[in-house]
Structure 1
Amino acid sequence: MTSSNLLKVALAQISPVWLDKAATLEKVKTSITDAAAQGCELVVFGEGLVPGYPFWLSMTNGSAWDDKVQKEIHAHYLRNAVQFESGDLLEIQELAKKLKIAIYLGIIERPIDRGGHSIYCSLVYIDADGEIKSVHRKLQPTYEERLTWSPGDGNGLQVHSLKEFTVGGLNCWENWMPLA
């Protein structure tokens, strides 16, 4: 076999610095650097890594109406969501380009071009040239996730060429959805 028909993939199973976008992105950069040093050509991170999964919804009264604690936690979550327009992923993109490694990164996204009021559980594909090639927003948040994440659409369901391979990604239970 030649190296053209092999693809070395790293699965970065790291935890976030919960609800801290900047600190979690530092951990992501370390994992990307480690993966590249081991000769990986693609590194994959889990769902909602940056800034973390909203597990407080299951552990508190997440659906309480007009609850001060829920409002404060959600507001903090919004402030730590990723905004491409603010350059939140520029350092990750530069690192991908420098190290010539592709990345799938699970983020909580707060897109300004959609008003900046909704957040999405998104999977971002950054190619080895450091370009964001797709942003897949989770089609249907499940259970308590619906209290904080907006449903996505099919626009981000894209695959990408990587060497002789075609790669794609889904969020969580989307892997059980036959049409996705």
Structure 2
Amino acid sequence: MRTSGNLAYEPEQTGAERALDWASPAPSMARRILLEDALTSRPHLQEKARQIRRELAVRRMKSLLALITLVVLLASIFGGILYRQARILELNFANLKLERQIEKTEQSSGQISESLARQTDLERIRRLAIDRLGLQVPARMQVVTVDIPDSDRVVYARTGHSSVTEEAQLAAVFNEIEGFFKTLELPGQDS
């Protein structure tokens, strides 16, 4: 067989080579054996094939059942998350509604307090206190003014024995209170 060196072209065949191409035998095909023929001739193979089919069907059913279970599980998780988020959103809206109601109530309460303060007649209250309750205007010596310090006074309990009786504790408290009042300065008293 001659080649021209160029692989893009088909090589030229001579008459003898062409004759060989036509004369070459057709490829032999294997004879097909039908499954039914093979199975009917061998019953144990038929039973084995049935068993294999059953196993494959069981495997398919198991994998299908696992897939369905997985899908249902994921859907239920997703549904649970959605339900919780919806519930949270619902409660947020309820909280906002309550906050608005509280603001309205506080606003109306402030308006009511303001209107009551405007309607209050102090002279009328003084007359009612004198007439009905028998109160009187205090004398100058009866008025006590209390100076409130800028900072709070903190009184600490003394740490003592835990076996102190209740009477001793009450006496200590009384002494502390008495000492506190002795330190107060009342107007009109000479120090």
| TM, length-normalised to structure 1 | 0.16
Name which structure has the greater RCO, CA cutoff 8 Å, separation 6+.
Answer: 1
Would you tell me which structure has more helix in proportion to its own residues?
Answer: 2
Bigger radius of gyration: 2
Would you tell me which structure has more strand in proportion to its own residues?
Answer: 1
| TM, length-normalised to structure 2 | 0.15
